[in-house]
Amino acid sequence: MSSKVQPDHVKLVIDGQDVSVEPGRTLLDAATAAGIRIPTLCHLDGLPEAAACRMCVVDVDGRWLPACATEAVDGMHVVTKTPEIETHRRTVVELLFAEGNHVCAFCVSNGHCELQDLACEVGLHSVRVPYSFRRDRIDASHPGFLVDRDRCVLCGRCVRVCAEVEGAHTWAFANRGTDARVITDLWETWDDAESCTSCGKCVESCPTGAIVCKGVSNAEMVKDAELPGELVARRNRG
């Protein structure tokens, strides 16, 4: 992949900049290669795209499309940031905060959280809609890890890394809409989930303080979100 124009590459314009990428790459790949940042939340290098969070929507010739799941095509004109798109992104983050219980000062992921970083990036100063004040079940049955579903943003990174990289298929989604939750082995408690290999990939992949290690205190949970991508690359290299 290159931002230099090459004959067999797809050529498009992103934010007024000529960009050239290998065929089959996404708009997110193309923008990243050109040094243009598009905010993401459910995307994680090495995992199949879910296009779930809608943070990465961009304007493609007048249509809004998720950059992570849209293939770059010759002649596209892409705008990654407009006042309307910025408002949309801020609203997405605002609703995620209102839906969960995100009291960052008391969170083990404080200072190391992608949701918190996004809130800063989009300029979220307050939440204007009522909080849902969810009281969901914390599952701390696993000896090493715990899941606090009130901090889950339903990005599905844990589900995908568990299935696609570890091959365990422990994590899945249950229910729909506001009742949607991540679950282990069809609602078994985590410690009773026999498919779990305790590899910890869900911990590293989770962008928030929803899946964390036990024994860490406020702001101590630092994750390595590069890890799943590295594991995929290593596996593909054989």
What is the binding site for ligand SF4 (CB under 6 A)?
A: 102-104, 107, 109-110, 113, 115-116, 151-158, 182, 205-211
When the beta carbons of 78 and 158 are compared against ligand SF4, the nearer one is: 158
CB of residue 13 to ligand SF4, shortest distance in Å: 33
CB of residue 41 to ligand SF4, shortest distance in Å: 8
CB of residue 203 to ligand SF4, shortest distance in Å: 9
When the beta carbons of 53 and 72 are compared against ligand SF4, the nearer one is: 53
Q: At what angle do helices 83-99 and 114-122 cross, to 10 degrees?
A: 140
Q: How far is CA 105 from CA 64, 90, 115, 212, 218, in A?
A: 35, 21, 14, 16, 8
Q: What is the largest CA-CA distance in the chain?
A: 56
When the beta carbons of 1 and 127 are compared against ligand SF4, the nearer one is: 127
Provide the 3-class DSSP secondary structure of residue 6: coil
DSSP-assigned states of every residue in 10-39: EEEEETTEEEEE-TT-BHHHHHHHTT----
Phi-psi region of 123 (alpha: psi -120 to 50; beta: other; left: phi over 0): left
CB of residue 133 to ligand SF4, shortest distance in Å: 14
CB of residue 110 to ligand SF4, shortest distance in Å: 5
**What are φ and ψ of residue 173, in 5° steps?**
-95, 140
When the beta carbons of 34 and 119 are compared against ligand SF4, the nearer one is: 119
When the beta carbons of 21 and 68 are compared against ligand SF4, the nearer one is: 68
Cα–Cα distance between 30 and 172 in angstroms, integer?
31
